[in-house]
Structure 1
Amino acid sequence: MSYRVRRGPWGIAVDLTAGASVAPEPARGAAEHVAGRVWLDLAPVLRHPHADRSGVRIAGDEAAWLRHGAALAAPAVEAGAPAAHTTITVHRVYFHPCHFQPEGLAAALLLWAREEFGPPAHPGEASFDAAAGRYVYDWRAG
């Protein structure tokens, strides 16, 4: 899944690879409970060494944006897998530091969820705030 936005002098670009597994019971192990019957496993992108620069590891504060995206996507995930528990595993995240803002991680996960489970997951509406020099997201948009 590639998320791209450019409405100002620079843009945000995040490539994310994830997968979903559905089971009758809640996830065990590294997965964290997000909401309802949705779980998030970030172990592949939190535990890999930074040194290889392959784009598979993110920092802990960046992981919070993936959690935010998963929480916003939870209604669509649950609608796509009724009466089952779904674990989303993020396998790889890549971004170039020049084209990155951490909120883009949430938007990329929302787009992935939309492709995997269908609407209503959405990336929110991003607008460029020139005075702040950054993108501002309205997570209610869509």
Structure 2
Amino acid sequence: MRTHRYKVQKGGFGLFLGITAEVIRPASPPPSGTPVSDRVRMDASEVSNAYYGSRLALTESEVAWLRAGLGRVSGAIEIVESSPCILIAVRALEIVEADYAEVALAPAIAGWAEAEWSLAPRRCDAVRDSATGRYTLNWDE
């Protein structure tokens, strides 16, 4: 199990999200979990608040952001991982309400996977439109 912390501090905004997850290598695809790619699945059904130990119920949108982030690195994971099925179980999130936006879930889990499998890091620049408050992620591919 590994924890990765995604941090952005720019003029006008900051993002912070810590994510703890583990890799499970079942012999066959598990019935639970969200498919990310051919061999990679993600389970975010039992996530706790890392600060309080209470259970977090992630929204569909939050799960979609996690899936999008893993989707960015799933091809690289499949190259280095020989297991027929790779299940990434998200166990905890470190959320600081003042610096949390669900968009941070995508680069946080991608960074977690890069550390877990020693993948080459991909740069993800977060940009916030001050007029609308919306974030854009620009991935360096």
TM-score tier, shorter chain, comes to: 0.7 to 0.9
**Residue ranges of structure 1 left out of the alignment (5+ in a row):** none
Amino acid at match of 2:100: F
Identity of aligned residues (%): 26
1:8 paired residue number? 11
Q: Deviations over 1:36-67 (max 9, x none)?
A: 1101111112xx6x9x9546413232111111
Correspondent of 1:34 among 33, 36, 40:
36
SS at match of 1:19: strand
Tell me the matched-pair count.
136
Q: Deviations over 1:94-138 (max 9, x none)?
A: 212210111100111000000011224535222333333343211
TM-score, length-normalised on structure 2? Answer: 0.82
Would you say the 8 A contact 2:23–2:87 is kept in 1? yes
Take 2:12 and 2:80, find their aligned partners in 1: how far apart are those partners?
37
Amino acid at match of 2:76: A
Rate the CA distance shift 1:55–1:76 in 2: closer, same or farther, 3 A.
farther
Take 1:75 and 1:37, find their aligned partners in 2: how far apart are those partners?
9
**Deviation, structure 1 residue 84:** 2.4
1:105 paired residue number? 105
**Deviation, structure 1 residue 22:** 2.1
Take 1:121 and 1:90, find their aligned partners in 2: how far apart are those partners?
20
**Per residue, is there more helix in 1 or in 2?**
1
**Residue ranges of structure 2 left out of the alignment (5+ in a row):** none
1:136 paired residue number? 136
Structural RMSD (CA) = 2.4
Take 2:8 and 2:95, find their aligned partners in 1: how far apart are those partners?
13
Would you say the 8 A contact 1:106–1:123 is kept in 2? no
Would you say the 8 A contact 1:72–1:110 is kept in 2? yes
Take 1:111 and 1:130, find their aligned partners in 2: how far apart are those partners?
26
TM-score, length-normalised on structure 1? Answer: 0.81
Would you say the 8 A contact 1:55–1:95 is kept in 2? no
